[in-house]
Structure 1
């Protein structure tokens, strides 16, 4: 899906400290008492104070996030009226305000302690002004915000979460007619159930008729302040809910006990084990080597930065979410020196004309905000890096590097994790309530949840799991202090990547060699690394290494360069109900996907594992424990393990 560049909100302040939109010539909130209007229009007419008292979880969807005041007030009522459970607040905003403007608006309510606490959490987690989905966990298991930055009519069809109450806000229909369309009301009905309510400040006739036509019972009431009337109501009749993609529905398996087996002791396996342990599971990690982090996770350093594409596609959105999730995990560990690394900046050089064109297209089409990335010429980057560079590029202020093995070891320190090394899994069989795992060593393990999170599976196991994993060899070259002029101030990428861990340890890499499966270091690969590095950093290497020094790893890649994360579909069910059937039927005619109970995969992270394994671990944790997903449906579908077979079938290819 193509996403349009986000236009910054054009605003000004009136003398009475009211925020006004120049685009719509309308105020963001009432001048007659913002909180009082919110309470009257949205809280009372959706019966939220009463409904919150008996709700376990609740979902509100809003058109027009604006200054965030509707969210703050709803969150305050939720926390004050509901002792447990999660409020999921979904909002769509085409012209996001800068975080500084939000803070200025919220400051007017500084006498409200609860409101200010929620505001502070929102401001600290407020996303970059980039198009697409952004999920914010403000209070774990209590308060979650999902923001869509872009056109609501483009984002709403992607959403699949049932909504309990709608806030129809945004600017008045006469000044913002593009939003108040019949398609908006149709999507509202699709996501509503029999108890779903709505409220809106407007009594516009087209809005009233559109809501009725979509299936809502619409009532009028006296408006707030200068507004004469307002609308509110409820879905008149619940329609049968048909998932947009039945082949990607979530599994409904509930494990018989909170125990799990994780195959793989690298980044994917360790982060998955840690997340499950945090959720209360007793986890056993099975690693075929004598030590953990012996494959791609064994590199001395890996870089952390987003993926820039010209159209900000699903890959960019996935890795942005992964980038932010990784930072959230690592921040305190780095602060407490529990892992090795630095997240204080990274430089991405545009080392080819194609790379520079892609970045320029992204700057033009997407509009990268300065707090996310800044474009600099080669002279500016050279000064910042303390080394001469030959190319222009981007500086990511939150980017950096970490040592993967230190992260693996930190994760596996959890008291609920048991590590078993020199254990190679050869097969697995479901037995009534649990998986029985066979190993080359003759030892057997069992648990109701089994997760394969290793790149080093045999072809037969990959085929059994339905994974089109392709290993791609990469060689990293290590340098000693006397090979280097001066250490790099920041890590940088340049077709490869270069990092100075300290004054004595430096590296560059990594090659992409497929289908070469040789496990020995080669002079040819080392020469390639030197050439790539010297073309970007002509003065950094003052003496080439005279011996082979480095590391070889095989990155597990997928055909579309996104990881494969989630439940493993039942192959027989897939063949019978999808692959052997016509692909042209309307979606609701196909049954929901069926899965092998308790069987999951976490693979295919390729060269970007540091930007995806932490998000993958959270996703698996949510799936296994039947919790709401902390990422939008579109990104879940984009990483679903069955997607390749489904795509081939839906495009008319024969896959069975």
Structure 2
């Protein structure tokens, strides 16, 4: 099974339920929590062991790591106390590992016996990730984030980033599950720990005491709970940690340039991670005022037949985006439009054999991905598909950016201004300037979410961004039952029919895609003939659907620019000076073929760009990645996928080959 960014092995837990609703693991012969006094046990072992609430009474992010997520009980008890005692500007990040994940229904059943935590349990169950291996980052509310690594602890911990302020070691008794407690696991706990990190665990086994001590923790016994004699409490003291000794400074001013999907997603992620004062700057102003009301787009996971970083990133991004947009919908800010689901029915390279191979390799549950036969696909869409099969993405669908982008921004300030330059200040911050050179604002950090314009605003990086123009047609739809009844992707794409607010129905049919260069005609002006090209592309792949849409007239067109990269993956992370990278690492790269260290970055300057046609799918994940880097909090992706997003990767590849950067 390949899931949210990895191919780590996962196993379904074998459960037996006691009369009071407590799940017992048949794999390890142990219960997930005490049958009586489960919450009281967590309060004694975990909260008292970590020194809560005093330990988190400081502004900014506080990160708790856990081995053995189980039902999420440790998280819920800590969250309950944290929400009542943490400072207003604080943020809680819970990072956990689980190799035998429960389903959402099983978790709900297990937590139903704890009415005092019912409201938090309901939020957790709504955000419960699918049982797919890899990292799953979920915003549980505006101040609490869960990053759940589904996979074996020996695979997952080395792939995580710190720093961690406190640890809860769980995962059944060491005698029953020794792999969770071996020296390699405890060494990874130490690697991720901030100096002074607290640790609490339910066990007092001698091997665990010695292992923690060897890893650099000062360990003490404490009275156990109920019938248990002892538990352990520890503080990390050794110098082997890979994280800084002081927390990331809290409360900087951060300027996000660009109010498209990338910039709005960055602003939302920064706000969730407690980044301080965030302001978005865009020449068009707030997206609620600047976007065409009829604009629609698709969220369709990009799937790959073979395992690759691109395929893993897209799988992780789709899961993250769907969870975020569903959470907005649950909060009354629904960005989805029309019936849910996307049906993909390409021909050519992505034929029936390709689709079967993808479904077999991924092994996703049917509520995430299904292979439909032609008859089922026809009933779903309203017309026969072009092949014998089609891929069905039940959780995808059509999205309305005019609703989505303002929902992501919330109350984030938006400045209407055209940015001509960002320049470093003598004090280490940044100045954002207009075309006259006048300062628009000063900031401690800047994120360029400016598509292909990023190369103009920071030319020192020589980013290989390729502007691409696209145009879509706005059709007067025949009605809600007219094909396609759901979103479809097949050479062209089409949304389902959406109410136009005046008693009629509309849909989007798209899209053209062609390179755009400075000096070409205005990319935002609709071009005659593009509608015919879109319809011809659809007819070449799906004639029956093209015939069905022939009776729906085109009433308007929308055009714009997007930025792509040579490897079709976004750029997300710190920006750099290509000349500095060449001077510092060029010789080593040419000799060894790999970087001796991460490329030197320009302090306080970041980008999220190059999302291409996958902005609605990719933006939440890559925005969360940059927000994590700015705030010094754990990444939402594994380190190898973070490297695949690194903006300096093309410069490094050029230097390895002995070529000038940007050539």
Could you state the TM-score of these two structures normalised by the residue count of structure 2?
A: 0.79
CA distance in structure 1 between the aligned counterparts of 2:412 and 2:219, rounded to whole angstroms = 55
**Preserved CA contact (<8 Å) 1:428 1:438:** no
The answer to whether 1:613 aligns with 2:619 is yes
Give SS of 2:198's match: strand
**Preserved CA contact (<8 Å) 1:43 1:49:** yes
Q: Which of 466, 483, 486 is the matching residue for 2:482?
A: 486
The answer to whether 1:388 aligns with 2:384 is yes
The answer to whether 1:285 aligns with 2:291 is no
Aligned to 2:501: none
User: Any idea what the Cα deviations from partners look like across 1:471-524, whole Å, max 9, x if unmatched?
Assistant: 344454555558999342211112431224446544433344458978655578
- Aligned alpha-carbon RMSD (Å): 4.4
**Structure 1 residues 559 and 173: alpha-carbon distance in aligned structure 2, compared to 1, 3 A threshold:** farther
Aligned to 2:585: 578
CA distance in structure 1 between the aligned counterparts of 2:224 and 2:33, rounded to whole angstroms = 14
Higher deviation after alignment, 639-648 or 350-359 = 350-359
CA distance in structure 1 between the aligned counterparts of 2:29 and 2:642, rounded to whole angstroms = 38
**Structure 1 residues 54 and 322: alpha-carbon distance in aligned structure 2, compared to 1, 3 A threshold:** closer
Per-residue deviation, 1:652: 6.7
5+ residue gaps, structure 2: 499-503
Aligned to 2:467: 471
Aligned to 1:631: 636
The answer to whether 1:641 aligns with 2:647 is yes
1:550-589 correspondence runs (5 A): 550=557, 553-581=560-588
CA distance in structure 1 between the aligned counterparts of 2:516 and 2:205, rounded to whole angstroms = 64
**Structure 1 residues 357 and 229: alpha-carbon distance in aligned structure 2, compared to 1, 3 A threshold:** farther
Aligned to 2:303: 308
Aligned to 1:101: 106
CA distance in structure 2 between the aligned counterparts of 1:81 and 1:471, rounded to whole angstroms = 49
Per-residue deviation, 1:108: 0.9
Per-residue deviation, 1:607: 0.7
**Preserved CA contact (<8 Å) 1:60 1:88:** yes
Higher deviation after alignment, 408-417 or 193-202 = 408-417
The answer to whether 1:132 aligns with 2:139 is no
Aligned to 1:164: 165
**Structure 1 residues 252 and 26: alpha-carbon distance in aligned structure 2, compared to 1, 3 A threshold:** closer
The answer to whether 1:317 aligns with 2:316 is yes
Count of residue pairs the alignment pairs up: 628
**Preserved CA contact (<8 Å) 2:468 2:515:** yes
1:585-604 correspondence runs (5 A): 590=597, 593-595=600-602, 597=604, 599-604=605-610
Aligned to 1:191: 192
1:61-72 correspondence runs (5 A): 61-72=65-76
Give SS of 2:108's match: helix
1:429-578 correspondence runs (5 A): 429-430=423-424, 432=426, 434-435=430-431, 437=433, 439=435, 444-449=438-443, 451-457=447-453, 463-477=459-473, 479=475, 486-502=482-498, 505-513=506-514, 520-522=527-529, 525-526=533-534, 528-535=536-543, 537=545, 540-542=548-550, 550=557, 553-578=560-585
5+ residue gaps, structure 1: 244-249
**Structure 1 residues 194 and 29: alpha-carbon distance in aligned structure 2, compared to 1, 3 A threshold:** same
CA distance in structure 2 between the aligned counterparts of 1:568 and 1:308, rounded to whole angstroms = 29
Give SS of 1:595's match: coil
**Preserved CA contact (<8 Å) 2:448 2:454:** no
CA distance in structure 1 between the aligned counterparts of 2:237 and 2:437, rounded to whole angstroms = 59
1:17-28 correspondence runs (5 A): 17-28=21-32
1:302-381 correspondence runs (5 A): 302-309=297-304, 311=307, 313-329=312-328, 335=334, 341-342=337-338, 344-349=340-345, 351-352=347-348, 354=350, 356=352, 359-381=355-377
CA distance in structure 2 between the aligned counterparts of 1:274 and 1:195, rounded to whole angstroms = 30
1:263-278 correspondence runs (5 A): 264=258, 266-269=260-263
The answer to whether 1:47 aligns with 2:54 is no
Q: Which of 97, 115, 126 is the matching residue for 1:92?
A: 97
CA distance in structure 1 between the aligned counterparts of 2:271 and 2:83, rounded to whole angstroms = 27
**Preserved CA contact (<8 Å) 1:485 1:539:** no
**Structure 1 residues 97 and 280: alpha-carbon distance in aligned structure 2, compared to 1, 3 A threshold:** same
CA distance in structure 2 between the aligned counterparts of 1:494 and 1:431, rounded to whole angstroms = 49
User: Any idea what the Cα deviations from partners look like across 1:178-208, whole Å, max 9, x if unmatched?
Assistant: 3333220110111123422333333444434
Higher deviation after alignment, 37-46 or 604-613 = 37-46
Per-residue deviation, 1:559: 2.6
CA distance in structure 2 between the aligned counterparts of 1:533 and 1:500, rounded to whole angstroms = 18
**Preserved CA contact (<8 Å) 2:475 2:555:** no
**Structure 1 residues 622 and 174: alpha-carbon distance in aligned structure 2, compared to 1, 3 A threshold:** closer
User: Any idea what the Cα deviations from partners look like across 1:288-335, whole Å, max 9, x if unmatched?
Assistant: 9xx9979xx999431123333454613321343234334445666765
CA distance in structure 1 between the aligned counterparts of 2:595 and 2:474, rounded to whole angstroms = 56
Could you state the TM-score of these two structures normalised by the residue count of structure 1?
A: 0.80
**Preserved CA contact (<8 Å) 2:477 2:552:** no
**Structure 1 residues 59 and 458: alpha-carbon distance in aligned structure 2, compared to 1, 3 A threshold:** closer
CA distance in structure 2 between the aligned counterparts of 1:261 and 1:4, rounded to whole angstroms = 35
**Preserved CA contact (<8 Å) 1:4 1:366:** no
Higher deviation after alignment, 428-437 or 158-167 = 428-437
